[in-house]
Amino acid sequence: MTDNQLIDDALAGRSAAFGQLVLKYQDRLFTALAHAIGCVEEARDVAQDAFVQAFVKLETFQRQSSFYTWLYRIAFNAAVSRNRKKRPNTSLDERRETVGLEPTDPRDDGPTQELERRERVTQIRTALDALPSDYRTVLVLREIDGCDYDQISEILDVPVGTVRSRLHRARLQLKDQLKAVVQMD
Amino acid sequence: MNQPFDEELISAYLDDELSAEQRRDVERLLAERPEAQRLLDELRGLRESLQSLPTFKLQEDFGAAVLRRAEREMLRTGPAASTAPSAESVTPVTNAAATPIPAVQPASQVERNWRRPAAWSLLAVAAALALMFVERNRRDSGDVAMVKVKQENADAKSGTPALSPARPETSDAVAAKKLDRADESAGRELLLKDGSARSRGNDAPAAVAAPAPKEGTAEQNRIAGQPVPMTNQFIVANTSVPPPGSVPPAAAIVPPTTTAAAKPADPAMIAGAQFAIENRLPARGPATPAPVAGNATGDSQNALAQQVLAGGGAGGYALPSQLQQGVVDMTPLIRANDFQRARALVSEYEIARREVTNERDAAAQVSRRLQNRALELQTAQRITPAASKAGPAAEKQQSPALATDADQLLIVYCDVTPEAIERGWTTILNREQIADLTTPYGAAGMTAVNGLLEKAPTDQRKEQAGVADEEFVYVVADSKQLEGTLDALRRQSEFFLNVRVEPAPSDSQQQVWRQRYSRGEETSLSSGYTVKSGPVATPSPAPAGPALGAVAASPAPTAAPKSAGEEVGERKQAGNKPTAEIAKSESAASSAPPLNGIPQLREAEVEKQLFGGGNALSGLGNSGGSAAAGPVPAASQSAVESAYGYYRQQQNFAPLSRSQRLSRADALAPSIADAAGNGLNRGVNPATTTPAAPLAASAPPAAAANPAVPTQDRADNQRADKSKVAGGGGAGVQLGVAAKQVDADAQFAGAAGQNLNWVWNELPPDYHEALFIFRVVPPPKMDGKPTK
């Protein structure tokens, strides 16, 4: 079923249809939020808030954008309005101990490659975390979530030109941060 | 020379976000300019790196949790009252004002959906009440009758005669009269829809309901803002036979403008109505969205309950038809004596009710979280941006300062095991719905806390304190939350070895303190601001908890008032006092005359009681070394364990209830007032509220009964000073200090509650700022070596 059909069903009172929407987008949204916020627990809470608010506000969704874009916009606002500093950020590497979340990676490397990959991931995460949140968010939306400029513009409520320039600056800054992190290691 | 090129174009080219013409330009640029190609390669590598980051999966039950929360949210706020980010802002709205959003689901449908849990709860209440009534009727002649009273206005509209047409009566009076009649007719009265009544036999069930009104009529009126018509109401009233001549039992329905004050409503019915309201209203007003009715807050729930019972009124609520429908559903079952099915029906309702109750509790938690969030925001606004790294002076100048009045700050000192912070403390905070404001603001928060206390740098402070580690947790919470937290700290004695509460002394209070000292009323400062050595004129000086450490040498009488931080610093620095000075102080203390007729315990006696005869502190003190390094001598280890066990034993004191504390506070009001005037005697230990058994056994009975015995406290503090002077200690010393702390607190057991109350009475009633200072004390291991 398409998103619109599921939305219609949910609006008709069949909440299970909305459950399917949740199932469809939960991991994508969660991953994007986890990387954008830098804290899996917070990302999970924000994702839940976003889905809840989407459910509550579903009748106001005018379908002029994709449901996911609308959902991410809600999540973005929820993340902003939320006190992100209420709890100490749990690093993504500590996710296993905290919430039992398991990152998924389809690749099946050997031990050495796995170690190198982990190290590389750690470096990227460190560099990403060092970016201002605006830059981090736009990078995550583009590179990890795969949103195009129009979607990013809609989610962040900024012009497309701003998205382009911000994305470029974010990349340059991430490049510098990554160099610094690699040198530190 | 090459012209600089627009790097953004390279980035956009990578993203395939260029027009065909731009794309051609960039491709030409890439062919001509190696640096452009290099940049593109770098950006491409960066993309691959980012895309190599792992993805995450949520649990499979996430969707179910979302739906549960969504239902709660709708229950709490209604479908259109969400506080979520505006969904309208998400989708570009064109002609939003002119073009109404086509509602796929009618508003009434939405309304009915979100009302469903509340309706079930009401139905459950009605069912339970009805069954209770029936069961009781089966047992005896019937204590409870369920009658239906038709409101006078409804009677007037329908043309049926009122129950008491001759003179105007309030509905509860009518009900009371009917109940009297019901009592006269063997306990039950059935009122038919037209107001007539007929008696029923004792063996017949008596729950009767009118046919349910058209569903949604009242609700539709309410939604449309129209006055809700009076509807038939069910009343459950206690029909126990009143004494002759007494006022009849209060009827359930109490019109808000007539007899509400004179005749309280039936508790059961009020509870039912409140239950219904609580499922639709937030617990408190400002932090949560207004209810659908829009004119009620949690504070007015009682009044609203009566309005509900009265059939609407200003609150706009009427007893939902489901409530009546529930009774209707049960009525034939009851009439047929089919109690099994009726009971099954009640069970179903009860399950639904429990679900709603859980949701209500969840909503209450949300409400509290919102309140805490509001406090956080309030506090955040009072914290200036983070300090720069331009050096200590600049940091001090620019450090974020909590706009905290020291008078309003509660400081809780706590010796804890290493596990306490990781395991116990978080749980306590979560349970009390208290936000840890230290962590959110990170370095800024800590700097603010440090600035608040104006303490020495952390490392120096730790060194002076001779503790292995310290944790600072700054919270803002209301009194109940703080009380719950302190109670929890007391209960978890395996984690929190010692709890002591102080308000931060303000400048003005310190000024008073110093002035008194300069007048010679205080002869020693060696045990901090808790000591009054020598004879005291006042019969019962306010009790005092032990100070954190020793206080520095006497300040000049004309010294300027010092801040709380300076005060703390002075106390810390006292740990560096020469041993001889301490010894002299101890000597003076031990030879001091008895206070209030209570002889002082000598140092050796105290240690004997504490450590079973071994001079534990002396031995540990001689061992030297810092707290974090240096093994504790094996000979002292048993004493450490003994102290630890002793301390544990002391934690088992039965707490005083709040009323007991208040009562004692009243009794000790003069002493407390004296303490307030002095700015002294601030130490309390809510963890210990009754005298310690070992000391009570050896000390005169009056010592246990009289909470104001500062002598022991002084000795203990001096002993703590001695241990610090001797090298700061190690775990054993800390445990010894902890044991000493409990010992002293036990002497002043009764004072703890009063002082705590006094502190809180001095604080604003709505909320408090509290700084928890945890001193991590490694517990002894079974193999005789302290853990770290």
Mutate to test the interface with B, among A137, A171, A181, A182 (most CBs of B within 10 A): A171
Interface predicted TM-score (ipTM) of this complex, two decimals: 0.84
| Nearest residue in B to A80, CA atom | B85
Chain B residue at shortest CA distance from A166: B8
Question: Is B52 in the A-facing interface, judged by CB distances under 8 Å?
Answer: yes
Q: How far apart are CA B516 and CA B512, in angstroms?
A: 6
How many CB atoms are closer than 10 A to CB B535? 11
Question: Which tokens go with B235?
Answer: 């009343």
Q: CA-to-CA distance for B588 and B600, rounded, in angstroms?
A: 12
Partners of B54 on chain A (C-beta within 8 Å) are 92, 103-105, 121
Q: pLDDT per residue over A41-63, tens digit each?
A: 888 888 988 898 888 888 888 88
Closest residue in A to B57 (Cα–Cα): A27
Outline where DSSP puts E strands in B701-781: 768-776
The nearest alpha carbon in chain B to A54 belongs to: B87
Chain B residue with Cα closest to A156 = B90
Looking at the partner chain, which of A56, A139, A144 has a beta carbon nearest the beta carbon of B74?
A56
- Cβ pair A103:B69 closer than 8 A: no
Q: Which of B17, B55, B376 sits opposite A149 (nearest CB)?
A: B17
Between chain A and chain B, the number of residue pairs with CB atoms below 8 A apart is: 206
CA dist A55 and A57 (Å) reads 5
Of A102, A124, A175, the CB nearest to B53: A124
Task: Answer whether B88 sits within 8 Å of A13, measured CB to CB.
Answer: no
Cβ-based contacts of A129 with chain B (< 8 Å): none
Contacts of B724 (CB under 8 A, 6+ apart): B466, B549, B550, B575, B733
pLDDT value at position A166? 92
Contacts of A47 in chain B (CB under 8 A): 58, 62
Among A4, A7, A55, most B C-beta atoms within 10 A, so best to mutate, is A55
Burial of B614 (0-12, 13-18, 19+ CB in 10 A): middle
- For residue B615, which of B733, B521, B535 has the smallest C-alpha distance? B733
Between the alpha carbon of residue B660 and those of residues B690, B753, B757, the distances in Å are 12, 8, 11
Nearest to B481 by CA among B213, B700, B772, B219: B772
The larger pLDDT score, comparing residue A1 to residue B96, is at A1
Closest chain A residue by Cα to residue B99: A62
Give yes or no for B69 touching A (CB within 8 A).
yes
Question: How many residues can be counted in chain B?
Answer: 788
Per-residue pLDDT, B729: 34
Residue B780: strand pairing partners: B786
Q: Does B44 touch chain A (CB under 8 A)?
A: no
For residue A116, the model assigns a pLDDT of: 74
B459/chain A closest Cα distance in angstroms: 23
Q: Which residues of A touch B362 (CB under 8 A)?
A: none
> So what's the pLDDT on residue A169?
92
Q: What pLDDT is stored for residue A38 in this prediction?
A: 81
Give the closest residue to B744 by CA, choosing from B695, B778, B676, B779. Answer: B695
Q: Does any CB of chain A come closer than 8 Å to the CB of residue B186?
A: no
List, as ranges, residues 304-333 from B with C-beta within 8 Å of A.
none
Confidence at residue A167, expressed as pLDDT on a 0 to 100 scale? 92
Can you point out the beta strands (E) in A19-170?
Answer: 103-104
What value, to the nearest 5°, has the Cα angle with vertex A180 and ends A175 and A182?
95
Look at A85 and B103 and tell me if their CB atoms are within 8 Å: no
Strand B197-198 with B190-191, pairing: antiparallel
Is there a contact between A102 and B57 (Cβ–Cβ < 8 Å)?
yes
Residue listed under structure tokens 């209810």: B291
Residue A36: name the closest of A115, A136, A171 by CA: A136
Edge-to-edge strand ranges of the sheet holding B496-503: B469-477, B768-776, B409-416, B496-503
Cβ-Cβ contacts under 8 Å, B79 against chain A: 56, 59
Distance CA A160, CA B264 (A): 65
Instruction: Give residue-wise pLDDT tens across range B557-599.
Output: 333 333 333 333 333 333 333 333 333 333 333 333 333 333 3
3-state secondary structure B644-669: HHHHHHHCCCCCCCHHHHHHHHHHCH
Residue B685 CB partners (closer than 8 Å, separation 6+): B498, B499, B500, B501, B545, B741, B742, B745, B748, B752
Answer yes or no: are the C-beta atoms of B52 and A124 closer than 8 Å. Answer: yes
Would the pLDDT of A100 be above 60?
no
CB-based contact B52 A148, cutoff 8 Å: no
- The DSSP call for residue B148 is E
Position B103 scores a pLDDT of 33
The verdict on B379 touching A (C-beta cutoff 8 Å) is no
CA pair distance B607, B739, nearest whole angstrom: 10
| Inter-chain touch A168–B49, beta carbons under 8 Å | no
A62 and B55: CB-CB below 8 Å? no
B56/A101 CB distance under 8 A:
yes
pLDDT for B363: 62
Chain A contacts of B66, Cβ < 8 Å? 19, 22, 48, 51-52, 55
User: Rounded to 5 degrees, what angle do the CA atoms A78, B403, B685 make?
Assistant: 95
- Dihedral through CA B391, CA B397, CA B398, CA B401, nearest 10? 130
Q: How far apart are CA B228 and CA B770, in angstroms?
A: 48
CB-closest option in A27, A85, A165 to B58: A27
* Rounded Cα gap, residues B217 and B231, in angstroms: 10
Note which residues in 391-450 of chain B have CB less than 8 A from chain A.
Answer: 435-436, 439-442
Q: In terms of Cα–Cα distance, which of B547, B541, B568 is closest to B685? A: B547
Q: How far is B95 from chain A (nearest CA, A)?
A: 12
- Cβ–Cβ gap A26/B63 under 8 Å: yes
User: Which has the closest alpha carbon to B734: B778, B769, B782?
Assistant: B778
Q: What are phi and psi of B216, to 5 degrees?
A: 90, -10
CB-based contact, B475 to chain A, within 8 Å = no
Q: Do A78 and B84 touch (CB under 8 A)?
A: yes
At residue B368, the pLDDT reads: 61
Nearest residue, CB atoms, B70 vs list A12, A31, A55? A55
Distance from CA of B79 to the nearest CA of A (A): 6
pLDDT in tens, A22-41: 988 999 999 998 888 888 88
Residues of A in contact with B105 (CB under 8 A): 11-13, 59
Q: Answer whether B84 sits within 8 Å of A144, measured CB to CB.
A: no
Are A95 and B56 inside 8 Å of each other by CB? yes
CB contact under 8 A, B73 and A56: yes
Q: Which helix (H) or strand (E) holds A142?
A: none
Query: What residues in chain B have per-residue pLDDT under 70?
Result: 1-2, 75-335, 337-340, 342-343, 345-411, 419, 421-423, 435-470, 476, 479, 494, 498-770, 777-788
CA distance B323 to B235: 12
Task: Determine whether the interchain pair A165/B8 forms a contact, defined as Cβ–Cβ distance below 8 Å.
Answer: yes
- Residues B531 and A177: their CA atoms lie apart, in Å, by 57
Q: What is the pLDDT of residue B76?
A: 63
CB contact under 8 A, A15 and B49: no
State which H helix or E strand residue B88 sits in. none
Identity of the residue in A95, A101, A120 whose CB atom sits nearest the CB atom of B49: A120
Residue of B nearest to A51 (CA): B66
Q: Cβ contacts (< 8 Å) between B64 and chain A: which residues?
A: 19
CB B598 within 8 A of CB B703: yes
Q: Find the residue in A nearest to B75 (Cα).
A: A56
